[in-house]
Amino acid sequence: MATRPLRAAVAGVLCALLAACGTGGGGGQKAGPFAGEDVDLVVPYEPGGGYDAYARALAPYLEDCLDATVVVRNEPGAGGLVATNQTFTAGTDEKRIQIVNTVGLVSAQIAQAEGVGFDLEKVNWIGRIAAPPNVVVVATGSPVQGLPDLVHAGRPVRFVSTGPGSNDYIAPNILGAALGFPLEIVTGFAGAPEARAAVVAGNADAHILPVDSQLSAIESGDVRPIVTLDEERDPFVPDTPTVFEAAAPDAHAKAMIDSLVALGQTGRALMASPQMPADRVEALRAAFGCAIGNPDLVADLEKQERPLDPLGGPETAQLVRDVLTAPEEFRQLIVASY
C-alpha cells in the first residue's frame, strides 16, 4: 500500500498558513492572547471516531504553539449540529474552537436542514486539516471494473448509505445526475461499516465515502476502489483513476462534478465563532500553522494513516463560500438529498 507523502505535502503549504514559516517543529508562539489559558477544542461526536482522533493528535501541538492548555471536549448531538450552533454563538470571552465535518455542515446549510443555527460564511475559519477525496468502492468480486460500468449498467445502480443528508447519500445523487445514470440508494444501516457490508455481500453495487474511511476495507480486500471524486489521483489508492479520467464529462457534467469535488475539498477543519476577537483568531491561525508543521505530528498522522492536507483560514473560508454559492442545480440536488 502506498503511503501518503505527508511531510512533502505539508512543507509545500506551510508558508501559506499564517505565520507558519519558521515556527513549525514545536515551541511556537509564547506570551500570546491565549498564554496560560484553557482552550476548549470541541469534537461534535462521541469519542473514538476519526474527528476525535484528529483533535487528540493535534491538541498537544496546539498547546505548545499557543502556550495554553487545550482540552478536548466531546459534545455529540444531531450529527454535529448541536455543538456547531453552540460554537457559532460563543461569546467574545469564550476560548472555544471546534473541529468540524465541513462537508456535512455546508450541505446542511445549503439544504436549510432542521437544526441549523449557524452561517458558515460568518464563522472564523482557523484552517483545514485534511480533505480526503471520496472514493467509489465495489465488492472485490464484483463484475464492475470501472465507472463506465456503472454509467452504462442498463438498470438503476444500487448505492448504500447511512441515510439522507449523509455524505454517502449526497455524493451518489450528484454523481448520477451529472453523468446521467439511474440509481437507487439503500438506507437503514447503523453505520458505514454495515452499509459497506451490504456491498460486500452482493446486496448492493457500490458505496461512496472519503478514502480514509474506506481504507481498511480496501486493504483487507473486502472492497475494491474504482474511481476517486477528485482532480488528482490519491496517494492512498494511486492506481485508481479520478472521475475526470474515468468519465470524460461534458461541460454540464463537469460543472456539477467540479462543485462536488469542491464540496469534498472543504474537508475537516477548525472554526471559531464570529464573535471571537481578531487578535485571538490570528493567534489561532498562526498556532495552527505552527502545529501542523511539526514533524512529530506529521509522523503521528502518517502512522495512523490519516490524511493531512492543510489549508489556511482565509483560503478555507473562500472554499466554503464558493460551495455555498455553487450553481443552483447543484444546490437543489443537495436539498433533495435531505
Cβ(158)–Cβ(186) under 8 Å?
Answer: yes
Q: Is the pLDDT of residue 45 over 80?
A: yes
What are the domain boundaries of the chain? 6-131+266-336, 137-263
Q: What integer best gives the mean pLDDT of the chain?
A: 91
Three cell numbers, residue 98: 471546534
Determine how many CB atoms are found less than 10 A away from the CB of residue 12.
11
For the entire predicted model, the pTM comes to: 0.89
Give every CB contact of residue 271 below 8 A, 6+ residues apart in sequence.
87, 97, 98, 100, 123, 124, 125, 126
Q: Is the pLDDT of residue 3 over 80?
A: no
137-263 CATH fold? D-Maltodextrin-Binding Protein; domain 2 (3.40.190)
Q: Taking Cα atoms as reference points, which of 309, 276, 293 lies closest to residue 125?
A: 276
Number of H helices, E strands in the chain: 14, 11
- Selected residue with higher pLDDT from 7 and 249: 249
Q: Is the pLDDT of residue 9 over 60?
A: no
Give every CB contact of residue 58 below 8 A, 6+ residues apart in sequence.
41, 99, 129, 291, 292, 297
- Selected residue with higher pLDDT from 2 and 188: 188
Instruction: Say what the pLDDT of residue 18 is.
Output: 43
Query: What is the dihedral sign for C-alpha 279, 280, 281, 285?
Result: positive
Is the fold of 6-131+266-336 the same as that of 137-263? yes
Cβ(292)–Cβ(308) under 8 Å?
Answer: yes
One CATH from 3.40.50.300, 3.40.190.150, 3.40.50.720, 3.90.79.10 for 6-131+266-336: 3.40.190.150
Instruction: Say what the pLDDT of residue 49 is.
Output: 87
Overall average pLDDT of the 290-318 stretch: 96
Q: Is the pLDDT of residue 252 over 50?
A: yes
Q: Is the pLDDT of residue 334 over 60?
A: yes
- Selected residue with higher pLDDT from 128 and 13: 128
Q: Taking Cα atoms as reference points, which of 266, 306, 269, 275 lies closest to residue 288?
A: 269
Instruction: Say what the pLDDT of residue 28 is.
Output: 44
Q: Is the pLDDT of residue 10 over 90?
A: no
191-241: pLDDT as tens digits: 999 999 999 999 999 999 999 999 999 999 999 999 999 999 999 999 999
Exposed e or buried b for every residue in 37-66, given b needs 16+ CB within 10 A? eebbbbbbbeeeebbbbbbebbbbbbbbbb
Overall average pLDDT of the 231-255 stretch: 93
C-alpha distance from residue 199 to each of 157, 172, 211, 268, 302 (Å): 12, 14, 16, 26, 28
- The whole-angstrom separation of Cα 236 and Cα 328 is 33
Instruction: Say what the pLDDT of residue 5 is.
Output: 42
Beta bridge partners of 99: 270
